[in-house]
């Protein structure tokens, strides 16, 4: 993921897994991660290392993991860097 693509990540963009499952929308963009607002679930912090693609024209971010892989991760707390 290029630095230019990361600059394009903005609040309210939708976030999807690599197999096109909607996770939620971006609530906040931070230095190393983004806070995702999920309906009926706790918000999660997703590190930018998991971003595969940013489609600015569709206001969409695609992660580089599948729904199953995403479900196995504990992202409710931000990573300490």
Which pLDDT tens digit goes with each residue over 16-54? 999 999 999 999 999 889 999 998 888 999 999 999 999
15: pLDDT strictly greater than 90: yes
Q: Dump the DSSP string for 36-73.
A: EE-TTS--EEEEGGGEEEEEGGGTEEEESS-HHHHHT-
CATH number for the domain spanning 40: value is 2.30.30.240
Distance CA 46, CA 62 (A): 12
Establish if 26 belongs to a structural domain.
yes
Task: Give exposure, 34-43, as e/b (b: 16+ Cβ within 10 Å).
Answer: bbbbeeeeee
Establish if 44 belongs to a structural domain.
yes
Distance CA 68, CA 17 (A): 9
Question: In the beta sheet, which residues pair with residue 44?
Answer: 36
Q: Which domain holds residue 12?
A: 3-70
Establish if 41 belongs to a structural domain.
yes
What are the pLDDT digits (tens) for 47-77?
Answer: 999 999 998 888 999 999 998 887 767 676 6
Specify the number of domains making up the chain.
1
Establish if 58 belongs to a structural domain.
yes
Establish if 42 belongs to a structural domain.
yes
């Amino acid at each position: 993921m290029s630095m230019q693509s990361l600059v394009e990540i903005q609040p309210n963009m939708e976030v999807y897994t690599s197999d096109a499952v909607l996770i939620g929308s971006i609530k906040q963009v931070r230095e190393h991660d983004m806070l995702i607002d999920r309906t009926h679930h706790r918000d999660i912090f997703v590190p930018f290392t998991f971003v595969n693609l940013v489609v600015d024209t569709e206001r969409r971010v695609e992660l580089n993991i599948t729904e199953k892989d995403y479900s196995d991760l504990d992202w409710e707390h931000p990573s300490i860097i």
